[in-house]
Amino acid sequence: MSNSLFSVEEARQLARKRLPRMMFDFVDGASGDESLSDLNSRALDEIRLMPRVLVDVADRDLSSNILEQETGLPFGIAPMGMCALSWPGADQHMAREAAARRIPLCVSTASSSTLEQIIEDAEGHAWFQLYADQSGDFVDELIERAKASGYKVLILTVDVPIPSVRTRDLRNGFTFPMQWGPRQIWDFATHPRWSLTTVLQCFVAGMPRPMNYVTSTQGTKFIRSASRGRANWHFLEMLRDRWSGKLVVKGVQSHQDAIRIKAMGADAIYVSNHGGRQLNAAPTTIESLKVIRQAVGADMPLIFDGGIRSGEHVIKALASGANFAMVGRSAMYGLGAGGGSGLADILDVISNEASSV
Ligand SMILES: Cc1cc2nc3c(=O)[nH]c(=O)nc-3n(C[C@H](O)[C@H](O)[C@H](O)COP(=O)(O)O)c2cc1C
């Protein structure tokens, strides 16, 4: 392996050094006292796997399938908004990896490139994540754009009814659009590698912006603190009627909600607590996964994220009832540590670990 990163934690430490503090904290941070973000990973660590012996495992195959799609790996990349803040061109790097590895890249409503560009770069290996944003017309337009550009899977994220309080972002004065002050200028000046690469990329592709908003004909502005509370049961019913492709509901933790979502015709439930970035008091996702699997039965596809920092974690999620896993911050740490090659290294690390567990 000619990689230069050998673990997600190593990538995280390097990203911490290389990214302006404001950007690192945006990725690494969580809500409240950030305990849930840590607990997600710790709960995965605490699961023990029983080694079974005398089985020939010389030939191993990590390929999988989810929602009638064949995938090269049993995990993909979770939806993350404004990825270009962690590394210029992040969406393109992720799309390229998704295409090469045949894994789904979940494209956020707040992605830094347009949803059309990303699915093209990902050679079709992209799913679209929808927020029930403040404008109904904007949501309608996004659904039509996703259909027209060939998305087969739509993920409705439902765990952001109101924006959470993220202390690190408040302390750093992290706002969108960016407010420039001495603190921010010092932060950027002391991280020249990131700042120079970002400035160069700005000449090529312009400032990082939430491009699905910028290219909307509705004039809807991206407001980071906007409520996504329009996503209620009625909205889900409407969406199920309108979207004939696969529909996934993301951010589910209660088994009662899972049962109702299944009954409403969703194709998969995405068990997630937003990586501890929303309700800090929520259960860990691995805890919810086991309860939801019991409640919905063996046939309902379950997608899992939250705290995955190794291939071992992926395997533990699958062993606990998930059909497929997604990595969030691990991918961002790879990007922050080494751009496209850092991301590739981290995906290799997680795959190789998963294959050898
Ligand atoms: C920087 C960042 C941005 C995110 N943006 C979104 C988003 O736009 N939509 C969404 O559904 N989830 C978003 N999430 C949550 C992720 O999809 C995922 O649930 C979470 O990162 C998984 O936890 P992990 O980071 O511990 O792997 C974001 C997470 C991060 C770290």
Find the domain containing 139 and state its range. Answer: 8-46+61-356
Confidence class for position 1, pLDDT limits 50, 70, 90: very low
Q: Which long-range contacts (CB under 8 A, 24 or more apart) does 260-264 make?
A: 260/233, 261/236, 262/296, 262/300, 264/233, 264/236, 264/237, 264/240
**pLDDT, tens only, 201-244:** 888 877 889 999 999 998 888 887 777 778 999 999 999 999 99
pLDDT band at 2 (very low <50, low <70, confident <90, very high): low
Question: How many Å lie between the centroid of ligand 1 and the Cα of residue 295?
Answer: 25
Average pLDDT in the 1-5 region?
75
Q: Determine whether 125 is an active site residue.
A: no
What is the identity of the amino acid at 241?
D
161 C-alpha to ligand 1 centroid (Å): 15
Which numbered atom of ligand 1 lies nearest the CA of 111? 8
Distance from Cα 55 to the centre of ligand 1, integer Å = 37
Residues 6+ apart with CB under 8 A from 230: 132, 133, 134, 136, 139
Decide if 212 is inside a domain: yes
Question: What is the signed CA dihedral for 73, 74, 80, 85, rounded to 10 degrees?
Answer: -40
Asked if the structure places residue 53 within a domain, the reply is: no
Residue range 108-131, pLDDT digits in tens:
999 999 999 999 999 999 999 999
Q: Is residue 322 part of a domain?
A: yes
**Which residues have C-beta atoms less than 6 Å from ligand 1?**
26-27, 40, 78-81, 108, 110, 129, 157, 250, 272, 274-275, 277, 305-308, 327-329, 332
In a domain, 55, yes or no: no
Task: Determine the residue type at 26.
Answer: F
Backbone CA torsion sign across 97, 99, 103, 109: positive
Contact 47, 320 (CB under 8 A): yes
DSSP for 195-224 reads: HHHHHHHHHHH-S---HHHHT-SS-PPP-T
How far is residue 41 from each of residues 28, 49, 202, 239, measured CA to CA in Å? 13, 16, 35, 33
Query: What's the first-to-final CA gap in the chain, in angstroms?
Result: 18
Write the DSSP assignment of 77-130 as a string of letters.
E---TTGGGTSTTHHHHHHHHHHHHT--EEEPTT-SS-HHHHHHHTTT-EEEEE
The domain that holds 328 is classified in CATH as: 3.20.20.70
Identify the residue whose C-alpha is closest to ligand 1 atom 29: 80
Q: Would 274 be classed as within a structural domain?
A: yes
Nearest atom, ligand 1, residue 157 CA: 11
For residues 140 and 209, give the distance between their C-alpha atoms in angstroms, rounded to a whole number: 21
Atom 5 (ligand 1) nearest CA: 80
Catalytic residue among 93, 125, 274, 313: 274
Residues 6+ apart with CB under 8 A from 223: 134
Place of tokens 């046939």: 299
* Highest mean pLDDT pick, 47-56, 172-181, 184-193: 47-56
Q: Kindly report, residue by residue over 268-299, the tens digit of the pLDDT.
A: 999 999 999 999 999 999 999 999 999 999 99
User: Does residue 51 fall inside a structural domain?
Assistant: no
100: in domain: yes
Evaluate whether 310 touches 353 at the Cβ level (below 8 Å). yes
In a domain, 3, yes or no: no
pLDDT tens digits, 38-58: 999 999 999 999 999 999 999
Q: Domain tally for the chain?
A: 1
